[in-house]
Amino acid sequence: MNNLTFLEHYERLMGREIGNGSKSSAASVYFRRNAWRFNPRLGEFNKDISCINVTDIVDGKLKRSMYVPEEEEEEQRGTGSTAEMISFIRNLQIPLGEREEIPLVILYKLGRFQDDPLLRERLDRIFSPSHHTFLVNTSGSGKTKLLFEGLCQRWGFYFTFAMDGSGLGPNDLAHIATNIRLNLKLKWTQYLPPSSDPQYASLLQANLQLVHNAFGGALLVRLFVFKLFLEACSKEGFCQGHRQRWLEAQLLPDDLANLQDPFNMLQLDVRNAQLDGSVIDDAIAQVLEEIQEIWDMPLGEFFYIALDEANVPSREYLRAFADEHGQYPLLKAVIRSWQQRLGHLPVRFVVAGTVIPEEYFPSATDEWDDWLSRHRYTASYLTLLLANRFESPLYLLKGFIKGLTKYVHFEHVEYGGEEADRYIDWVSEVGSNGLERGPISRIEMHRAVITYLATSKGCLDCETKDRALVTQDYGYFVDTACRRIALDEPLMVIYGAGWLKNSEHSAATTMFKTFDSKYPTPLRPSHFALFLALSFASTSDGFFNISKAFKIYGGPLPLALPAKLVLLSKRAEGRLESTDVHFSEHSPKRLVLEAGSAEEMLSWFKHERDEPFCLLQSLPGSSVTLAFRLECQDGQRFWVFVHVPEDFTGEDSPSFIEDIRHASPASLFDEQPEIISLLAELPNLSPDVGPLGVLRVSGSFRVEKASEDSIPSAHQPAAILNITSLEEAGKRISQDMLMRRLARIFSDDTSDRPLRREQPQHLESSLPSPKGARRKRSVAGSTSTTRISTRSTSKGHALNVAAGSGSAGPTDTKKRRRNNASSSAPTRRPDIGGSGPGTSKTKATVRQRLNKITAVATGHASPGVPPPEPSENTSRYHLRKRTRL
């Protein structure tokens, strides 16, 4: 469109709008505001903008395509339960995007968070008028869904710095940073010289101006289309629903025009016009002026700009920008540029990503101080179930888990057919880059595996120095300050265990050499103590020579004393049962009680617990003591206290004598004298191991530095670890057995039955009889993760896509029927399901299958046992999201 045609078009438009008013006055205002569009370089922009049509979207008349499963010939005849299932899925009204074989589950019931008080409160905190917000957590934790829901209730823009396979959102920012670097015509300095360099100031200013110009075009385009949208809204009167419709127009921009991604097309038009930065500044200012005249923003209300996948620009061009706080990345430069251009418009930024270094956004006014995170409950496998019409759910689940972890626990599942195999191919492996390259991630994964094997719980306090735990999707942030990472999701731990079982790794699962390596962070005594518990339980297969576990100093104990690990459990009638303990896949889920309170500690020493080991710890990260019982062949028993000091791997000569002192009952229980009396009440207490029948053991790792006089005679009998023999025992542990045990823990298949039911040996006891309550298994944050990829037959390679947007699947699938504007789309109902024949039965069937599959995939049940009811705070709304950066 040339400038003359453009002028004629807008004169007609102006005449319609001002009616009989003063055309000369209106023309003056019009020319002033649109002077930038008369630039001859913007011919393509004017042509493309004329194609934008927002009327149907504003009026809510646009009929979008909804997902319907693929139907075979026999299914089209409407026979059997398959037809009911298809009807049920159709009535879910799950939107479709560019890929018609993939349901966009992330858009299911979009805008319904406002109906839930807890979710609404969370959104109010994220989209707060008092501050900008950073929403930081691992991929798939629901950040994008929260952005969508927040913008359904508030006016704003949605931008993403990295596109995924869902096609949701414009692709107007993802390529800008690369274009800056590759454009040889631009005076770009990727690495600024020292501030003392004479050219430093000019080079810095040139970089800032380049970013200002490059990203200003995208902002201008979004503002201009927003102005057109507001103009259409004003004709009929504004309503709350317009905000969600504006968001949907940004997420599915092809609905705006017969153009592929019109926002990106217009942004490219502006970029190719090579306008001076001042022209873009003036254009943005004029468009803002028009917006504020059309839209009377209520006092106290803010406009929100959501920046998704902000982890990408937070790691780009780290040495190209600087201020008084030091150097900073591209993300900060873009935000500052847009803040400057938006002028007096009350704007708040909501910035979401996996890792956004907090040091780049210091603030003395709390402006950037709200850093939020949340748990994830990944539901990616629902895409597979929907695509396969909920058929062969266990076969799909098996393939889903195997594809992610390269391990599958249940083998005997009926074949699901070629269609199911095709959908399983969407799933790709988690990936080991973080474990291979990051020693902190490696040792924390080892700790998580050991903790699960010993206590059936994951780790909620992982080290944050290496963010690979989050960026590689193994863990997630659990606190608002992003200072604690949880590593407790079954699929991630199973994958890590499978990777660690290779004995060649520096952190092999059962190898003591794991603790002999150097790590950038101190190793935790509790980690080593739990590892020792597994080692002792594995060594004790019936009676064993205790010299294989300890080197004993002094006392009357024979060096080759046979003993076995036992669990004493009190029955309701007051009797004690003795049970042999050996570590296997069928052992009770909890081998170790981590006594977090005096009450738990007391109940263990009263034999009211089912764990054969008890871990005593005063403070997290401090020294710990591992307590257990051994029984000799003559029936005598004694306690073993292994004290692991805080610096148990220190290179300096260990203070074995200090460990022995700390392992003494008087030191451990100085504030709990009742436990000391319970020690003496152990039936058939051996008098040969020391006071109160306690063999004190130093848990220091550097036993090679021990000598004959390491423990003076006054503190004998005592012992140190026999690392050499324990290492040999560890090599004999079946790694496949460990994997099966983990799988059973996650699937609740150990039934949590106490060992005493297997080998009861009754003992008379005068101890009190009330039975202590057993601790329930904690399942908080126990979730699954997936990475989904598509395979293109034309290019022959895999592309990671965002299941968070429901995006997965191959491109070479058969055509599916679509419910679009030309078809008889069913009326969307507020609840799941429909009113057709068999709907109620189908809904019940699907709920039953979903509850089962969800529980299994997230470790709350196994394929062979009924699942528990999902917890009230469990979220199922989002799919796994993964973007290739």
Element (H, E) at 513: none
Q: CB–CB of 109/103 below 8 Å?
A: no
Rg of the chain, C-alpha, whole Å: 33
In this prediction, residues 430-442 reach a mean pLDDT of 83
Q: Which amino acid is at 749?
A: D
Given a cut of 90, whether residue 630 has pLDDT beyond it is yes
The conformation of residue 879, written as its DSSP 8-state character, comes to -
Write down the pLDDT at residue 823: 37
Tokens of residue 8, six digits: 């004629």
pLDDT at residue 769 greater than cutoff 50: no
Q: Which of 621, 627, 566, 32 is nearest to 289 (CA)?
A: 32
Residue scoring higher pLDDT (398 or 717) = 717
Q: What is the mean pLDDT of residues 92-102?
A: 80
One-letter amino acid of 52: I
Q: In degrees, to the nearest 5, what angle opens at C-alpha 277 toward C-alphas 273 and 281?
A: 110
| Listed residue (231, 224, 313, 316) closest to 265, CA to CA | 224
**Residue pair 27/254 in contact by the 8 Å Cβ criterion:** no
Average pLDDT over every residue of 5-23: 50
Cα separation of the two ends of the chain: 38
Instruction: Give the DSSP H or E segment for 477.
Output: strand 476-477
Which of 332-341, 643-652, 707-716 shows the lowest per-residue confidence on average (mean pLDDT)?
707-716
Q: Which residues contact 334 (CB under 8 A, 6 or more apart)?
A: 211, 215, 313
pLDDT exceeds cutoff 80 at 557? no
Residue in 501, 432, 514 with CA at minimum distance from that of residue 468: 432
> Would you list the domain boundaries of the chain?
132-368, 525-763
Among 173, 176, 175, 203, smallest CA distance to 187 is for: 203
Tally DSSP H helices, then E strands, for the chain: 29, 24
**Beta carbons within 10 angstroms of residue 734's beta carbon:** 14
pLDDT value at residue 683: 92
Query: What is the amino acid identity at position 433?
Result: N
Q: Which tops the pLDDT comparison, 697 or 20?
A: 697
Output the pLDDT for position 29. Answer: 67
3-state secondary structure of 159: strand
User: Which residues are within 8 A (CB) of 677 and not within 5 positions of it... i.e. 6 or more apart?
Assistant: none
Is pLDDT at 847 greater than 80 in this prediction?
A: no
* Confidence check: pLDDT of 499 > 60: yes
Higher pLDDT, 821 or 481: 481
Mean pLDDT of 133-160: 90
| Mean pLDDT, all residues of the chain | 76
Residue 198 pLDDT exceeds 90? yes
Kindly report, residue by residue over 701-733, the tens digit of the pLDDT.
Answer: 888 777 777 787 878 888 899 988 888 888 888
% the chain with pLDDT above 90: 31
Handedness of CA 868, 874, 878, 883 (dihedral sign): negative
pLDDT at 415: 62
What pLDDT shows up at residue 452? Answer: 93
Q: Look at residue 23 and tell me whether its pLDDT is greater than 90.
A: no
Average pLDDT for 459-466? 82
Least confident interval from 393-397, 450-454, 562-566: 393-397
> For residue 740, what pLDDT is reported?
86
Contact present, 244 and 187 (Cβ < 8 Å): no
- Rounded distance, CA 441 to CA 466, Å? 7
Average pLDDT over residues 346-369: 73
C-alpha span between 59 and 56 (Å, rounded): 5
The candidate with the shortest Cα–Cα distance to 611, out of 568, 572, 575, is 568
Does the structure show a pLDDT above 50 at 855? no
- pLDDT tier for residue 874 given thresholds of 50, 70 and 90: very low
Residue 104 binned pLDDT confidence (cut-offs 50, 70, 90): confident
Contact status, residue 555 vs residue 716, Cβ threshold 8 Å: yes
In a 3-state reduction of DSSP, which class is residue 748? Answer: coil
Predicted confidence at residue 25, as pLDDT, reads 62
Provide the pLDDT for residue 12.
52
Bridge partners of 350, per DSSP, are: 133, 306
For residue 552, pLDDT over 80 is answered with yes
The predicted model gives 338-354 an average pLDDT of 91
* Range from 484-493, 642-651, 757-766 carrying the lowest mean pLDDT: 757-766
Query: And the tokens for 304?
Result: 């929100």
Q: Which two tokens stand for residue 456?
A: 């059936």
Beta bridge partners of 798: 791
Residue 35 has pLDDT above 50, yes or no: yes
Q: Which residue has the higher pLDDT, 587 or 155?
A: 155
Helix ranges, 80-142 (H): 80-91, 117-126
State which of 33-37, 44-48, 79-83 shows the largest mean pLDDT. Answer: 44-48
pLDDT in tens, 277-304: 899 999 999 999 999 899 888 888 899 9
List C-alpha distances in Å: 268 to 45, 263, 302. Answer: 9, 9, 29
Structure confidence at residue 204 (pLDDT)? 95
Length of the chain equals 885
Q: What is the mean pLDDT of residues 796-803?
A: 31
Q: Does residue 164 surpass a pLDDT of 90?
A: no
Per-residue pLDDT tens over the stretch 675-695: 999 999 999 999 888 789 999
User: What is the H or E stretch that residue 507 is in?
Assistant: none
Give the residue with greater pLDDT, 791 vs 153. 153
Predicted TM-score (pTM) of the model is: 0.67
pLDDT confidence band for 319 (50 / 70 / 90): very high
Question: Can you tell me which residue has the tokens 């800056």?
Answer: 180
Average pLDDT over residues 837-861: 42
